[in-house]
Structure 1
Amino acid sequence: MRYKPEYKQKKRQELLTISGQIAKKDGFAATGVDGFMKAAGVTSGAFYSHFSSKQELLKALIEHELQHSFDMWQNNPHDNAQDWIEFELDRYLTPAHVQHPEQGCSLPTLASEVARADQDTKLIYETELLRGHALFSQHLGSEELAWAIICQLAGAILIARAATDPHLQKNILDANKMIIRQYLDSHPAVST
């Protein structure tokens, strides 16, 4: 049976969304093609009509997930730096983001997977990461500050997820919000 090109593209996006959720929750390397496809409600054979290999799926997932993060950052309703970053701190550093990795940003979950991947996968990650960095730099007025904030956000989520006590998780998030805010309050490019 032949499907319309729109159907195939829609199905691919659905597979990427579902596979992304599983990869962020359970780990990409720890999940086989069968696990991804079962969650999507399709056969493993259907996988190969969309991706040539599991590595190809990882590349597509990275682009898809980081594009989603970029879209969220880009759709932040604030223009001035202080309000923009406050919005991101309150959106990103939340207990829900810690407890539901499948719904959150891929940076805290897939960066270690990418670090073990091939050069092509790393280049896709780097390209998408640089797009996000450029957006943060634009709003924060500093490339260095943008790197520091991106890393602190992702690191805070990663460290909080490794803790079992919800109170400790919240303390980790709150401490990072406080430190980022204190730093930004003293940084002239952001506080004006």
Structure 2
Amino acid sequence: MRYQDGYKDQKRRELLKAAGAAAKKKGFAATGVDALAEAAGVTSGAVYAHFGSKAGLLDAVIVNEMERSRARWSRNPERSVETWAAEEVARYLSRAHIDHPESGCLMPALAADVARAAAPTRQVFEDQLKQAQREIAERLGEKDKAWQFLSQIVGAMVLARAVVSDDVQDEILAASRDAVTG
């Protein structure tokens, strides 16, 4: 069967988007290839055809999701550093981001999975993280401030998602917003 031009690329993009959302919601290690494929409306064979393995899919998800995050962070380059930081922190450290990990950032959702992955996958993550850090450093004007910014917001989201109480989640988010923008 011959597919229309662009069909395979479109299916790959759909698979990356759906697999990224499913993995961020349930964890990559805890989600089987069949479930990741089903989320995209394809067979598990399509996963292997596009990515070679589940690890290959994780690598592609990391790149795709980090590119999406960097695209969000690079919007409105004319904003002042203070305005940019306040807006990004408010968006990131939000109730919506706690409640809907599938539509949020890869880092707080999958960093633990990546930490347990093989070295090549961790290298893909490191390369993407360093690129994000460089882009944020350009915005903030300093390399160390970019690491501090990323560590604070990602760490706060990990902690906020890990606790049960809405009150404690709100305290973590508020304290972290103050630490980053205060």
TM beyond 0.5: yes
User: Shift in Å at residue 4 of structure 1?
Assistant: 3.4
Provide the residue aligned with 1:105 in structure 2: 105
Q: In the aligned structure 1, how far is the partner of 2:175 from the partner of 2:5?
A: 49
Residues 71-113 of structure 1: per-residue CA shift (max 9 Å, x gap): 1001145432111111111111100001110010001011111
**Structure 2 partner of 1:186:** none
Q: How many residues align?
A: 182
Q: Deviation digits for residues 135-161 of structure 1, max 9, x if unmatched?
A: 111111111111011010000111000
State the shift of 1:49 in Å.
2.0
The residue number in structure 2 matching 1:188 is none
Q: Percent identity?
A: 44
User: In structure 2, the residue corresponding to 1:30 is in which secondary structure?
Assistant: coil
Deviates more, 1:28-37 or 1:43-52: 43-52
Cα RMSD after superposing both structures: 1.3
3-state SS of 1:157 partner: helix
Matching residue's letter, 1:60: A
Kept in 1: contact 2:48–2:54 (CA 8 A): no
What letter corresponds to residue 93 of structure 1 in structure 2? L
Cα distance in structure 2, aligned partners of 1:63 and 1:5: 24
> Does residue 151 in structure 1 map to residue 151 in structure 2?
yes
CA distance in 2, matches of 1:181, 1:39: 37
- Between stretches 55-64 and 170-179, larger displacement belongs to 170-179
Give the Cα separation in 2 of the matches to 1:119 and 1:4. Answer: 37
- Unaligned 5+ segments in structure 1 are 183-192
* Cα separation, 2, equivalents of 1:107 and 1:128: 11
Counterparts of 1:45-60 in structure 2, within 5 Å, are 45-60=45-60
What is the CA distance between 1:115 and its match in structure 2?
A: 1.2
1:94 & 1:109 partners in 2: Cα distance? 15
Alpha-carbon separation, structure 2, partners of 1:159 and 1:86: 20
Corresponding residue for 1:6? 6
Q: 1:48, 1:3 → 2: CA distance?
A: 18
SS at match of 2:13: helix
Q: What corresponds to 1:22 in structure 2? A: 22
Is the deviation greater in 56-65 or in 33-42? Answer: 33-42
Q: TM-score, normalised to structure 2's length? A: 0.95
Task: Specify whether residues 21 and 112 from structure 1 end up closer, same or farther in structure 2 by C-alpha distance, changes over 3 A only.
Answer: same
Report the counterpart of residue 178 of structure 2 in structure 1: 178
* Distance in 1 (alpha carbons) for counterparts of 2:42 and 2:97: 28
Alignment of 1:117-156 (within 5 A): 117-156=117-156
User: C-alpha displacement at 1:44, in angstroms?
Assistant: 1.7
